[in-house]
Amino acid sequence: MKRVFVVALSMAVLSGCSTYHKLRGDGAAARSPAAAPMQAAPAAAMFAANGTEIERVPFRAGVSTVTVENMAKQAGCWGQQGAGLMTPPGPVEVYRLVCDNGAVFMAKCELRQCKRMPVPGRAAAGPTAQRPQE
């Protein structure tokens, strides 16, 4: 009977200690990767092109990347890097693919249902785009 009491008492003391460290933020649980907040995407770099600063967004693949790439190919746009995710992952995502001829193909995917978007200020990929010579 004494052993059961000692074991129960030690478990209560140890669980109290771990709760105290979690609340203070200096315990091992607070330093674990599971307890750490999600890290944001890497910051976009700024480049100067012809005296104008432009933002270069790093390539990120998303759940609908392949779907958007296939849509772009059907529209006559072939890109080397592929369709990159421009928005945070979620139920509504925007993808961009830069074609080999310099045109841009953009698509908006809502719950994996993708539709082509008009591209403001740039030439959009269309039937006039030619497939690159291989």
Q: How far is residue 128's CA from residue 75's CA, in Å, rounded to a whole number?
A: 9
Residue 129 sits in the same domain as residue 84: yes
pLDDT at 26 > cutoff 70? no
CA dihedral defined by 48, 49, 53, 57, rounded to 10 degrees? -90
Residue 72 sits in the same domain as residue 125: yes
More confident of the two residues 49 and 72: 72
pLDDT of residue 30: 46
- Domain range for 71 is 59-134
**Minimal CA–CA distance to 72: which of 118, 112, 111, 116?**
116
Question: Is the residue at 41 inside a domain?
Answer: no
Question: Is the residue at 101 inside a domain?
Answer: yes
pLDDT of residue 86: 94
Question: For the segment 77-104, what is each residue's pLDDT rounded down to a tens digit?
Answer: 988 889 999 999 999 999 999 999 889 9
Cβ of 5: how many Cβ atoms within 10 Å?
A: 9
Question: Is the residue at 50 inside a domain?
Answer: no
Question: Is the residue at 133 inside a domain?
Answer: yes
Is the dihedral angle over the CA atoms 117, 121, 123, 127 positive or is it negative? positive
Question: Is the residue at 81 inside a domain?
Answer: yes
Residue 122 sits in the same domain as residue 66: yes
Residue 90 sits in the same domain as residue 132: yes
Question: Is the residue at 126 inside a domain?
Answer: yes
Residue 17 sits in the same domain as residue 64: no
Question: Is the residue at 54 inside a domain?
Answer: no
pLDDT of residue 102: 86
**Which residue is associated with the tokens 């995407």?**
41
Give residue 20's identity as a one-letter amino acid code.
Answer: Y
Number of domains within the chain: 2
Question: Is the residue at 99 inside a domain?
Answer: yes
